[in-house]
């Protein structure tokens, strides 16, 4: 009863090779089908994302699943990649190390963006695909359930996945949402069509923004962008009026001079009637004069401001790593303890069955000798025998359980088999 | 059951709130999956004990229920604790308890320093007394909520101005929400404070006219401080309204609300520690001995 894995990730496998090794859902299903034929009696789950390809295998039999190098060869063959090209970059492990690796992957500790939450969904999808392909079993079932539990603990007990790392997400969630309670009654103005505009708008839409205007020096580009983003296009000549109506501005033009100067803003400031204004100036060079941010009721953030907040978040994530690894270690120990305990189940069942059988035989003999016993007395005697058996079996079973925490209790199991004449 | 309720003391619910506050304060240092549930559990237990205690007081005091200074402070604390619990449940990521529970504990402390004797009453003035007390209670709760909203607005605005991401586990409400609370509570506090003061004057006038109870003089410290507080609250509401369409209006409203809270705190401390004739029994027997006779 053991586990192995083999594969590679962004840590060791260059992107060109990762692309060649990556499995689509159909290819993964075919590979699992082939695995079932080539390694009957083994369980397998294939995890393939843009940053990693890993095959996890498990077997209940004594000889165990295929070793990591055989799994790596299997992966290479499935994708038609020559083994020589991948042998130095694919790696693997077995037993507790394999378990710990999967738990750390599921918790995002092995991800390119530390603590990213998407990996949990990808691990779930890999498991579901393996279930559909019929390559799962009790061992991989418990392994992946435990992996998801470890990931959940890391997410809830540490702040690893909570700090946002992209500029648009920080801009919306940490700053714009600090000013506004809701966005469905706010006017959002996109000035320019820079690459971060669409992504920022996506976060604003998620936060509830509905009323979005797009202005651009090139009217056609504004119309095209507005159509693509489900917004309405405005005229660049009406920028002053748009500034008056806006509550939140995302500016991403390629202009070399400020698009809105302090003097221009001062002219429209009174018309805004004191409404707060959030400006996310994501352009380089900046579109808004930084002095506008000093005006009361204006919250102006440049790419540098947001970048610093992102960096601070990244450092905070890094500080959570020791706590996250402690959880992974705890969950690995717990899982391995359970796994080792599982291997003792057949011996325990045989032991109990043997004691019960002997007890029943002795009871029958006793009841034949004492035919005058009523049913209540017989029941009392039965229960006494049962309690006696349970008490006698408790010490060896407790020893087995304790030994299981440290590793497979092969010595104790052999001793029990020999002492009580149990079959292997 | 009655025996159980009668054994609930102020220490029971004050300790529950204090433990709840301690759990809430740990937000600043570390994350925990069970902290929120534990904190809510302690505050809920405290609120339950607090409720039972007030019910027991109302049922066992022979005068108008909850009509002593002690009960008045406990009732204000109860309203704020209930509000804190509700806001915590509806916004679990916002550290509401960290701001409200210290005020709740402060009011319980003020209650402990106050008289448990019911304010002197006669059937003729009982209604005005109840109106006066209720408006003052509403004013105090509104000032506390408005002041806390103003304080939170300033903290959040400071964080946004320094361009810092929110602290872990310490996500403040938006400026928009806090601004709305602060301005609404400023108006409610001004109306309730004005109505409370007016009803107090009427109560005093009825007492004077009928010669029933002790008259509170105009220069009584309580009258002076309440008059000053109400004047300030009305002025704050007017200033807040006048500046509502100016860019600096929200910051001014937040500051005014916070100052109102400071003034209320000073007023309570003065009231607890200073001399007054307000709410005192008559120094000489009343003319018609109305309470003993049962009718005016």
Q: What is the pLDDT of residues B70-118, one digit of tens each?
A: 888 999 999 999 999 999 888 887 888 999 999 999 999 998 888 777 7
Residues above pLDDT 90, as percent of chain B: 45
Q: Which residues contact B66 (CB under 8 A, 6 or more apart)?
A: B54, B57, B58, B72, B74, B75
Marked catalytic residue, from A50, A85, A266, A377: A50
Superfamily of A167-305 according to CATH: NAD(P)-binding Rossmann-like Domain (3.40.50.720)
Token readout for A408 is: 């497979």
Q: What is the pLDDT of residues A209-224, one digit of tens each?
A: 999 999 988 888 888 8
A interface mutation test: which of B36, B91, B152, B176 has the most A CBs within 10 A?
A: B176
Q: Which two three-digit tokens encode residue B176?
A: 């928009």
Domain ends where: B88, B118, B148? B118
Per-residue pLDDT of A237-266, as tens digits, reads 999 999 999 999 999 888 888 899 999 999
Whether the ω angle into residue A301 lies within 30 degrees of 0, i.e. cis, is: no
Do B149 and B276 fall within a single domain?
A: yes
Residue of A nearest to B243 (CA): A274
CA distance B214 to A31: 94
- Cβ pairs A/B, distance under 8 A: 72
Residue B288 domain-assigned (yes or no): no
Beta-bridged to residue A52, according to DSSP, are A9
Residues B178 and B242 in one domain: yes
Same domain, B261 and B139: yes
Given CB atoms, is A273 within the 8 Å cutoff of chain B?
yes
* Residue B288 pLDDT class (50, 70, 90 cuts): very low
Q: What total number of domains does chain B contain?
A: 2
Residue B33 with chain A: CB contacts under 8 Å:
156-157
Is residue A7 helix, strand or coil? strand
Tell me: do B8 and B114 sit in the same domain.
yes
* Residue B154 in contact with partner chain A when CB distance is under 8 A: no
% of chain B at pLDDT higher than 70: 85
Of A178, A273, A295, the CB nearest to B174: A178
- pLDDT computed for residue A19 by the predictor: 82
Instruction: For residue A132, give the DSSP letter.
Output: H
According to the model, what pLDDT value does residue B64 have? Answer: 61
**Residue B295's pLDDT band (cuts 50, 70, 90):** very low
Query: Would you identify the CATH topology of the domain A2-158?
Result: Beta Polymerase; domain 2 (3.30.460)
Mean pLDDT (chain A, rounded): 88
Position B196 in a domain: yes
A residues 295-324 near B, CB within 8 Å? 295-299, 301, 305, 308-309, 312-313, 316
pLDDT value for A389 = 86
Strand ranges of the sheet holding A211-215, from the earlier edge strand across to the other edge: A232-233, A211-215, A187-191, A248-251, A277-281, A298-302
Mean pLDDT of A179-188: 94
Kindly report which listed range (A82-96, A193-207, A356-370, B139-153) carries the lowest average pLDDT score.
A193-207
Angle at B44 between CA B38 and CA B48, to 5 degrees: 145
**More confident site: B176 or B296:** B176
Domain boundary among B118, B151, B176: B118
**B63 or A247, which is more confident?**
A247
Q: Which of B73, B103, B118 is the last residue of a domain?
A: B118
Pair A175, A37: CB distance under 8 Å: no
State residue A269's pLDDT score: 92
One domain for residues B94 and B171: no
DSSP secondary structure code for residue A50 in this structure? S
Confidence grade of residue A20 (pLDDT, cut at 50, 70, 90): confident
From chain B residues 48-107, the ones with a CB under 8 A of any chain A CB are none
Residues B164 and B266 in one domain: yes
| B174 in the same domain as B268 | yes
On whether residue B294 sits in a domain, the answer given is no
pLDDT digits (tens, 9 = 90+) for B17-34: 999 999 988 887 776 668
Question: What residue segments make up the domains of chain A, in order of their start?
Answer: 2-158, 167-305, 330-419
- B130 and B274 both lie in a single domain: yes
Quote the strand ranges of B24-177, DSSP E: none
Residue A303 pLDDT class (50, 70, 90 cuts): confident
Strands (E), A161-297: 187-191, 211-215, 232-233, 248-251, 277-281
Q: Is residue B289 part of a domain?
A: no
A331 has pLDDT over 90: yes
Contact A179 B176 (CB under 8 A): yes
Is residue B77 situated within a structural domain? yes
**DSSP type of residue A81:** -
Instruction: Give yes or no: residues B190 and B71 share one domain.
Output: no
Give yes or no: residues B140 and B216 share one domain.
Answer: yes
Nearest Cα to B17, choosing from B98, B135, B111, B87? B98
In this structure, the answer to whether residues B101 and B216 fall within a common structural domain is: no
pLDDT band, very low/low/confident/very high, at B272 (cuts 50, 70, 90): confident
* Residue whose structure tokens are 């809701």: A182
pLDDT score for A114: 76
Q: What angle do CA B192, B194, B195 make, to 5 degrees?
A: 65
In whole angstroms, give the CA distance from residue B233 to residue B227. 10
From B162's Cα to the closest Cα of chain A, the distance in A is 9
Whether residues B98 and B208 fall in one domain: no
How many CA atoms within 13 Å lie on the side-chain side of B290? 19
Is residue B295 included in any domain, yes or no?
Answer: no
Q: Do the chains contact at B247 and A298, CB–CB below 8 Å?
A: yes
> Which DSSP state fits A40?
T
Closest CA to A159 of B294, B57, B93: B93
Interchain CB distance below 8 Å, B176 and A272: no
What is the structure's pLDDT at B274? Answer: 65
Instruction: Give the domain extent around B201.
Output: 121-281
Name the token pair of A314. Answer: 């990244």
Closest in B31, B176, B244 to A157, CB measured: B31
Query: In this prediction, what percent of chain A has a pLDDT beyond 90?
Result: 44
Asked if the model's pLDDT at residue A291 lies above 90, the reply is: yes
């Amino acid at each position: 009863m053991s586990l192995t894995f083999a594969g590679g990730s962004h840590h060791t496998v260059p992107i060109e090779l990762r692309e060649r090794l990556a499995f689509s859902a159909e290819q993964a299903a075919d590979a699992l089908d082939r695995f079932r034929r080539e390694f009957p009696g083994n369980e397998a789950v294939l995890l393939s994302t843009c940053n990693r390809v890993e095959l996890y295998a498990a077997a209940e039999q004594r000889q165990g699943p295929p070793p990591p190098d055989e799994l790596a060869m299997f992966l290479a063959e499935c994708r038609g990649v020559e083994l020589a090209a991948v042998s130095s970059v694919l790696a693997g492990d077995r037993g507790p190390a394999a378990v710990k690796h999967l738990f750390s992957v599921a918790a995002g500790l092995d991800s390119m963006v530390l603590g990213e939450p998407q990996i949990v969904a990808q691990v779930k999808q890999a498991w579901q695909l393996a279930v559909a392909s019929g390559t799962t079993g009790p061992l991989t079932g418990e392994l992946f359930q435990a992996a998801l539990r470890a990931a959940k603990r890391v997410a809830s007990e540490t702040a690893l996945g909570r700090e946002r790392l992209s500029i648009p997400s920080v801009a919306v969630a940490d700053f714009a949402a600090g000013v506004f309670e809701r966005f469905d009654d706010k006017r959002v103005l996109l000035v320019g069509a820079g690459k971060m505009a669409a992504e920022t708008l996506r976060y604003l839409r998620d936060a509830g923004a509905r009323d979005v205007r797009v202005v651009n020096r090139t009217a056609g580009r504004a119309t095209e962008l507005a159509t693509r983003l489900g917004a309405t296009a405005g005229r660049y000549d009406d920028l002053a009026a748009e500034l008056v109506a806006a509550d939140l501005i995302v500016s991403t033009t390629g202009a070399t001079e400020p698009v809105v100067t302090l003097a221009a803003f001062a002219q429209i400031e009174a018309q805004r009637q004191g409404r707060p204004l959030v400006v996310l100036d994501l352009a380089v060079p900046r579109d808004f004069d930084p002095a506008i941010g000093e005006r009361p009721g204006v919250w102006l953030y440049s790419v540098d401001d947001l970048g610093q907040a992102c960096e601070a978040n990244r450092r905070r994530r890094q500080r959570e790593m020791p706590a996250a690894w402690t959880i992974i270690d705890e969950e690995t120990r717990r899982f391995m303890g359970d796994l080792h305990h599982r291997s003792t189940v057949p011996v325990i069942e045989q032991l109990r069955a043997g004691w019960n059988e002997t007890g029943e035989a002795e009871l029958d003999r006793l009841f034949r000798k004492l035919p005058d016993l009523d049913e209540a007395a017989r029941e009392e005697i039965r229960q006494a025998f049962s309690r006696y058996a349970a008490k006698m079996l408790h010490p060896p079973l407790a020893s087995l359980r304790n030994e299981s925490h440290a590793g497979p209790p092969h010595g104790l199991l052999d001793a029990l088999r020999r002492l009580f004449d149990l079959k292997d | 059951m009655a025996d159980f309720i009668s054994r609930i003391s102020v220490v029971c619910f004050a300790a529950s709130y204090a433990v709840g506050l301690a759990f809430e304060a740990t937000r600043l240092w570390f994350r925990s999956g069970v902290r929120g549930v534990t904190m809510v559990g302690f505050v809920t237990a405290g609120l339950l004990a607090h409720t039972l205690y007030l019910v027991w007081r109302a049922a066992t005091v022979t005068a108008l229920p909850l009509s002593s200074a002690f009960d008045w402070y406990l009732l204000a604390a109860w309203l704020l604790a209930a509000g804190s619990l509700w806001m915590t449940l509806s916004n679990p990521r916002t550290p509401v308890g960290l701001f409200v529970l210290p005020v709740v504990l402060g009011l319980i402390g003020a209650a402990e320093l106050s008289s448990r004797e019911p304010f002197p009453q006669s059937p003729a003035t009982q209604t005005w007394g109840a109106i006066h007390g209720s408006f003052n209670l509403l004013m105090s709760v509104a000032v506390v909520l408005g002041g806390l909203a103003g304080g939170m607005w300033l903290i959040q605005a400071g964080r946004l101005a320094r361009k810092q991401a929110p602290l872990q586990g310490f996500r403040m409400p938006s400026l928009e929400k806090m601004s709305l609370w602060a301005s609404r509570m400023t108006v409610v506090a001004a109306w309730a404070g004005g109505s409370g003061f007016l009803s107090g004057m009427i109560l005093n006038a009825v007492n004077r006219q009928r010669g029933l109870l002790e008259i509170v003089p105009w220069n009584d410290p309580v009258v002076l401080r309440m008059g000053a507080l109400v004047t300030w609250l009305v002025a704050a509401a007017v200033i807040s309204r006048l500046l509502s369409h100016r860019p600096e209006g929200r910051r001014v409203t937040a500051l005014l609300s916070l100052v109102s809270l400071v003034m209320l705190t000073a007023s309570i401390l003065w009231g607890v520690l200073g001399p007054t004739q307000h709410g005192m029994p008559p120094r000489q027997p009343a003319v018609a001995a109305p309470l003993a006779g049962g009718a005016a």
